[in-house]
Structure formats: structure tokens, C-alpha cells
Amino acid sequence: MENFPVINLEKLNGEERGATMEIIKDACENWGFFELINHGISHELMDTVERLTKEHYRKCMEQRFKELVAAKGLEGVQTEVNDLDWESTFFLRHLPHSNISEIPDLQDEYRKVMKEFALRLEKLAEELLDLLCENLGLEKGYLKKAFHGSKGPNFGTKVSNYPPCPKPDLIKGLRAHTDAGGIILLFQDDKVSGLQLLKDDQWIDVPPMRHSIVINLGDQIEVITNGKYKSVMHRVIAQTDGNRMSIASFYNPGGDAVIYPAPTLVEKEADENNNLYPKFVFEDYMKLYAGLKFQAKEPRFEAMKAIESNVNVGPIATA
């Protein structure tokens, strides 16, 4: 089996830049996932985020999860469960407006640290989008502008814990899906594994690695790149022991951003590929995705094609 792509971002600053950009290109074209080390976010900040996230789960969420499991009788299931996931989650919104101050039960230190972490991740996401532009032959800033809409991008974080599960063969931590949005930045547990991606019809483990950030590409990147880069099915396998932490941050288009293949990439592809992807308003796609998350992405694209004639798409303004 090929090695999961690990990218040392520090190497972009020296003579290994070309080779590093090639690894990023291959990861985007053939994996839809890669893992970053030396990404510029301090280990001290990441350690604090991890400590406070695990403390918050133990103090505020663990008992609620146990009560939910008991109420639904999940510990005694005998057949596969397909309508829920073995996870305990809450959501933070950062852009266009933060809701961190409104989330109940968060310590002040935790709120402050998560705000700082989100700022670092936002900067990293925008750096990565420009690296993708460079590899794709798009002008610098193209993807950021494509995501902007009238109010800027949507950026938020899903904080998850995957507690020990007595029946991991019958209940998934998180059912298989592609991500609807743009670029996803994951800070995951470095001791308890579980995240897998689908490659060449095989489920492959995404290796836990201390202080790394795992990147994966969402459906919107697939559309804008005209399928050159693909969003990839992934899932979380529940474990019988160990509580897995997952902090996934989603850098997505603004709600009113109009998404469509970059014209230069349509021109470069073979004629038969030119009309694979629709044009749509991002919030319309999200409304559709909400009911179809755990199904294949292709019917979602087809459904958006059916309404694209109603969307007036203009070119993205360039500075």
C-alpha cells in the first residue's frame, strides 16, 4: 500500500519547494487527503486545545452521552445501526460572525484558546488555498475570491469525541460521507485512531500523528477544479477502548457565493468533461446536502444541474 501523504510545510521555504509542491499536487489528485507537519501552529497552543477539549468532554458532555446511549438502548443492539453516529459533538462558528461567546458550559480559558486556534487555522486554510491555486495554474487568491460571496467565507469547527463503543462492528463513529464544503483542517487524537478514507475501493487508515493537521478537500473544491481534485469518502470507526478527540474546522464558501468550475480548468480538460459540474449558490447546495450527507455526491451534483439555469453567474472580480 502506498504511504499516506505527509507534507512538511517548512520545506516550501527552501530548495525542496518544487518537490514539496509536487507531493501536495499528487495528494490532491489521488488522495483528497494529506497530513501537515511544521505547519506554523505552535505545539503549545495545540496541547492546550487538546487538554481543554478533553476536560470539557469529561465535565460537560460525557454523562449526557451515556444517558443518550441508555435512552436509545444502543449498548444492546444486535443489528447494524444506520441512522446515527457514535459521537458526542458541539459546533463553533467563527466567520462571518463568531458564536463562541454564546456556547454554554465553556470555560473562559477554553473560549479564548479556541478563538486563537481558529485564527491560526483560518490563516493556514488561506495559505493552502493559494498553494492549490499555484499547482492548478490559477491566479493567486482565486479560490479565496471564489469562496467570498458578499460577506466572506463561512468558517466553523465541529468538536467531537468518539467514546469507547461496545459494538463497533454495528455502529459507526461517523458514517461514510464526503464533506460538502471547501477545505477541512483536522486536529485529531494522536493515540486513538479511527479515521479512514476510501481509496481504490479500500478503506485506508489516516495515521494519528502528534501535532499534525490533517487536510481534506470538500465537494466545492471538486466543482471549482472541474474534477481535477476530488472530495473523498471517509468515515470514523468506533473503538472498543479509548476516547478519540477530533477537532475539524471547515473553511467553506459564503452562503451566497456562486460556485462553478474555473473557466481555465474547463478549457484544459477534454471536451467530454466540460459539463460534468454545475453552477450553483453554495447555500442551495447545503440545503440539499443536509438530507443527503451519507449518500453519494454525484446525485447531489446532478440535482444542482437541474436548477443551474436559474443562477446568473458572473466572472470573479480580480484585484
Provide the pairing of β-strand 6-8 with 33-37. Answer: parallel
- Distance in angstroms (rounded) separating the CA atoms of residues 143 and 258: 12
- Distance in angstroms (rounded) separating the CA atoms of residues 285 and 294: 14
Query: Quick one: pLDDT at residue 275?
Result: 64
Measured in residues, the chain has a length of: 319
Query: Quick one: pLDDT at residue 274?
Result: 54
- Distance in angstroms (rounded) separating the CA atoms of residues 70 and 261: 47
What integer best gives the mean pLDDT of the chain? 93
What is the DSSP code string of 136-185?
Answer: HTPPTTHHHHHHHTTT--EEEEEEEEE---S-TTTS-SEEEE--SSSEEE
pLDDT tens column, 215-267: 999 999 999 999 999 999 999 999 999 999 999 999 999 999 999 999 999 97
β-bridge partners, 187: 247
Largest distance between two CA atoms of the chain: 60
pTM over 0.95: no
Most confident by average pLDDT, 72-76, 275-279, 283-287: 283-287
Query: Which three three-digit cell numbers place residue 53?
Result: 477539549
Q: Which residues contact 104 (CB under 8 A, 6 or more apart)?
A: none
β-bridge partners, 202: 199
- Residue 287: pLDDT band by 50, 70, 90 thresholds? very high
Q: Which of 263, 251, 253, 252 is nearest to 314 (CA)?
A: 263
**For 241, phi and psi rounded to 5 degrees?**
-140, 155
The 3-state DSSP class for residue 3 equals coil
